[in-house]
Structure 1
Amino acid sequence: MIFVINKKIKYNEYEGTLEDIDDPGNATLLVKPACRLLSIFVRNNDMLIKRKQLLDEVWEDYGLKATDSNLNNYISGLRRSLAKIDTEELIITYPRQGFKFVAKKITRQDLNAALLEKNVIQVSDNDKEEKKPELPTAELTSPPAWWKKAPLKKMAFIAVILVFPYLLSMAYKQIPVSNITNLGKYKNCDIYSIKYNGMQPKEIESVIAKHYTCEDKANIYYYFNIKEKGLPSYASIFAYCPLDVSAACELSYVKS
């Protein structure tokens, strides 16, 4: 997926790059934790994302050690990368709570559609170019003398040309994204699932109705089959988070 932030920044999630819309071709390559952070932010623009969620989805879910220091360092690095393109502050810190991405506008474009559009533009541009004069056949086909005497070098050179694009694509192909699914609404509450599994939406709504009135606007996050410290067994967790950032989230546990 490609995201355009504030009509200024292009984030290519597949390649893990940031690019200035007005200066194409001068892309910044992000490391994978930074990509995972930015993917969560752009999908949850203007929403407070808790530190625990970021630590889990960026590090713990990939078998990596998660620390507050790691999170702070990568947030700082991501801020610097974004600031190179847009001077507006896009990541707001809520002390001891989390972070909020505050872009004025984010549009998304499917990667295949973007590539198709790019190819159409390139074909159109090529049609406008004047046909260049062809070089003599001998000049095109005749290799230099050292090339004729070094067949192994030729084979190695061709192999590098063929393999390099494949290795490059494999290195950045697996850019993880957030696993949040919108399950609908209950009164004034928006319901989200983290790695959706387990209860059906109607069952989830029934549990929510028993615990929360949802008279005020809030987000409810449903975690299935989680083993928390202090709990004797696995349980489903419901996190009720009012949109008022001054109010803390409330947790409810339901035995699996």
Structure 2
Amino acid sequence: MVFVIDNRVFYRSEDGAIWPSGDEGSTVILTLTMNRLLACLLEKHGHVLTRNELLDSVWDAHGLRSSSHTLNKYISELRKHFVQFGIVEECITTVPRVGFMFNSDVEVRVQTQSIIEDEPRLEDEKNDAQVVKELSLVRVKHRHLPIALALTVFLISATLITLGLRVPSKDLAEVRELKTYFLFKYGSCPVYTVQRNSASLSEQKKELFTELAKENGIDCLEGASFLYQVSESYLYGNKGRAFISRCTSRNDKYISCLNNYWNGYERTH
């Protein structure tokens, strides 16, 4: 079975081959375990799979030892493959204290062999769609975010809307400037928010960020920085939303942003 992911990446579950559209020469063959994990997530596209379900079906059912640490590691590797193949959207979403799901906002379809052979046409369609998605450089008050961060800015803007925060009514595609506010350093990585941090809530925001980062294996990497936003209700242990984006760089240029969302789940103390 061949899956087409976001019209950009092809994945064949029979042998674990994954490659960018129009470039089979760049095919990567996933390990058996990673192949089973990705197939499992795609078959349940848009549905949450608990950690135990994934560990049982991917590891235990095949006589392999499993752990949450191992699962996190494989999820991280799969995310890296999608970023390398040009999908900047978060494909595999973390559901805190529950598990993971393949993002329902990322299009996934099963492809027949006859259509796979017509891949050059799909590549043209993908390029046309990409033109529509292009974003201009976003200027930030304390520093300049490169083009690689533009999508993250738009994701944060959407998150602010769901958090009930004020966002300019103009079309988001017209946004040219986003102010950020330094909150603290997580390890050596600076953490910025998109709202000014009051003295009364700053410590709670720091504690929650640290808690979420540790629980979900979001580490401070060399050259990385974070963009972070959380609703007040979530800070107080009620249902709410939180957003953490870790953006990594190489040679002073940003290469990817890993986005994590927490939506509607109550925190336990």
**TM > 0.5 between the two?**
no
Flag the structure with larger Rg.
1
TM-score (norm 1): 0.43
TM-score, length basis structure 2: 0.41
